[in-house]
Amino acid sequence: MQRILVLGAGFAGLWSAVGAARRMQELGIGPDDIQIVVVNRTAWHSIRVRNYESDLSETRIPLAQILDPIGVMHIEGEVTDIDVSQRRVAFSTLGGTESLPYDRLVFALGSCLVRPPIPGLAEYAFDVDTYEAAARLNHHIAMLPFRKASSAQYNVLVVGGGLTGIEVATEMFGKLRAVIADAAASEHTHSPRVVLADRQPWIGSGMGESARPVISEALGTLGIETRVGVSVASVDEDGATLTSGERIAAATVVWCAGMQAHPLTACFPVERDRLGRLPVDSCLKIRTMVAEFAAGDVAWLPIDGIHSSVMSCQHGRPMGRFAGHNVVCDLGGQPMLPLSIDWYVTCLDLGPWGAVYTEGWDRRVVSKRAAAKSIKETINRERIYPPRSGKRQEILDASTPIVQKPPSLKH
């Protein structure tokens, strides 16, 4: 029996595993011929893009709900090493350290927030990189009324004015006002304050010139203060000092600045890009490697032949579907399917103000406010979810290696 080992069960890993199972069914290959095994840190598929929201209850789906009906084995374990020369992966589980050999590997461990060695950052700053971190932040906010009353009690500093930081900041007043209302706070309660800081000269630099004024309008309307051209010099229990010298008193500091591909990308003897990603060919095989594929945030692919893939579920999900399909083809000596996506969109949540939706690599704004928010909600709550029916064929069909159309503007 041969083994396909999938590392990670996020947008890329989950869909790789389902895509492989689908292709096996299509080729009439049974579990006695090829075994698919997923190793993931938790027993959940996390809809990570929703980690800025106030209600996280629907953002995790048990892996068993998706993988059991299609006969894919899954192990809750922390991958610690990959030995490509021996084709073996080491991981730790509650039971101890284990390792598994593979015939083909799909590496899909995603990305991690980078925390530079700024004094106090590790101890005092929150983030929304994982479900656990996002839940910790929401719990901390829920507990704010029980802190000693101070002018910093309901102040939040969000550091990093990229997409994640903007989404965290624009959602924040809603979270703060809800806990203040629940606590029936006294008239002495200080009004909440949200500050969004970025070292670039603009908030939302990555969203391009067309979207920037829209973002600015939303932040202004919501009352979010901004600080640009600055970073954080230090963080402590009561706030942070910016590199400009300004002191921001805040019981809550959220770090949202900078993503890197998973550090285990270092196990592959190839040159990585500036984000630490592994170069893959259009069939998602790691360049120069024989048995190893990569998908999602760990992989770098000219997605339309020109533009570099973006760390996003927009690219991670199709990369997963194609990697899963191709890994089975590769084992069976069948031709593989190249992935090419000729469209690119972004949809940024702007809290109660709405959202902004752009099309093209130059990020032209095509929708904003409530119309764009409706697209965002469809993406976040429907489009990127796997089927939750438990029906084998429905799950397999959802991984067909085709490129979806962009989200419809009709929403």
Ligand X SMILES: Cc1cc2nc3c(=O)[nH]c(=O)nc-3n(C[C@H](O)[C@H](O)[C@H](O)COP(=O)(O)OP(=O)(O)OC[C@H]3O[C@@H](n4cnc5c(N)ncnc54)[C@H](O)[C@@H]3O)c2cc1C
Binding site for ligand X (CB under 6 A): 8-13, 39-42, 46, 48-49, 51-52, 78-79, 108-110, 128-129, 163-164, 167, 262, 296-297, 311-314, 316
Give the integer Cα–Cα distance in Å for 260 and 282. 22
C-alpha triplet 230, 231, 232: angle, nearest 5°: 130
| All residues at 6 or more sequence positions from 17 whose CB lies less than 8 Å from its CB, including other chains | 6, 9, 36, 38, 67, 72, 74, 106, 324
C-alpha triplet 325, 327, 330: angle, nearest 5°: 110
Q: Of 190 and 287, which CB lies nearer to ligand X in the complex structure?
A: 287
Nearest in space to 104 (alpha carbons), one of 226, 198, 16, 189: 16
Q: Rounded to the nearest whole angstrom, what is the least distance from the CB of residue 184 to ligand X in the complex?
A: 31
Q: Rounded to the nearest whole angstrom, what is the least distance from the CB of residue 10 to ligand X in the complex?
A: 2
| All residues at 6 or more sequence positions from 116 whose CB lies less than 8 Å from its CB, including other chains | 258
Give the integer Cα–Cα distance in Å for 69 and 81. 29
Q: Rounded to the nearest whole angstrom, what is the least distance from the CB of residue 312 to ligand X in the complex?
A: 3
Q: Of 249 and 371, which CB lies nearer to ligand X in the complex structure?
A: 371
Q: Of 50 and 180, which CB lies nearer to ligand X in the complex structure?
A: 50
Q: Rounded to the nearest whole angstrom, what is the least distance from the CB of residue 152 to ligand X in the complex?
A: 24
Other C-beta atoms closer than 10 Å to the C-beta of 279 total 17
Q: Of 152 and 275, which CB lies nearer to ligand X in the complex structure?
A: 275
Q: Of 8 and 204, which CB lies nearer to ligand X in the complex structure?
A: 8
Nearest in space to 109 (alpha carbons), one of 270, 292, 329, 339: 292
Q: Rounded to the nearest whole angstrom, what is the least distance from the CB of residue 410 to ligand X in the complex?
A: 20
Q: Of 92 and 191, which CB lies nearer to ligand X in the complex structure?
A: 92
Amino acid identity of residue 173, one-letter, is F
Torsion of CA 216, 220, 224, 225, to 10 degrees: 80
Q: Of 81 and 182, which CB lies nearer to ligand X in the complex structure?
A: 81
Q: Are strands 193-198 and 2-7 parallel, antiparallel or unpaired?
A: unpaired
Q: Rounded to the nearest whole angstrom, what is the least distance from the CB of residue 92 to ligand X in the complex?
A: 9
Q: Rounded to the nearest whole angstrom, what is the least distance from the CB of residue 93 to ligand X in the complex?
A: 10
Chain Cα centroid distance, residue 216 = 24
Q: Rounded to the nearest whole angstrom, what is the least distance from the CB of residue 281 to ligand X in the complex?
A: 18
- How far lies 188's CA from each of 150, 194, 223, 249, in Å? 10, 19, 20, 17
Measured from each CB, the residue nearest to ligand X is 10
C-alpha triplet 342, 296, 34: angle, nearest 5°: 110
Q: Rounded to the nearest whole angstrom, what is the least distance from the CB of residue 187 to ligand X in the complex?
A: 35
Q: Of 227 and 277, which CB lies nearer to ligand X in the complex structure?
A: 277
Q: Of 108 and 248, which CB lies nearer to ligand X in the complex structure?
A: 108
Q: Rounded to the nearest whole angstrom, what is the least distance from the CB of residue 238 to ligand X in the complex?
A: 25
| All residues at 6 or more sequence positions from 397 whose CB lies less than 8 Å from its CB, including other chains | 22
Q: Of 238 and 359, which CB lies nearer to ligand X in the complex structure?
A: 359
β partners of residue 101: 88
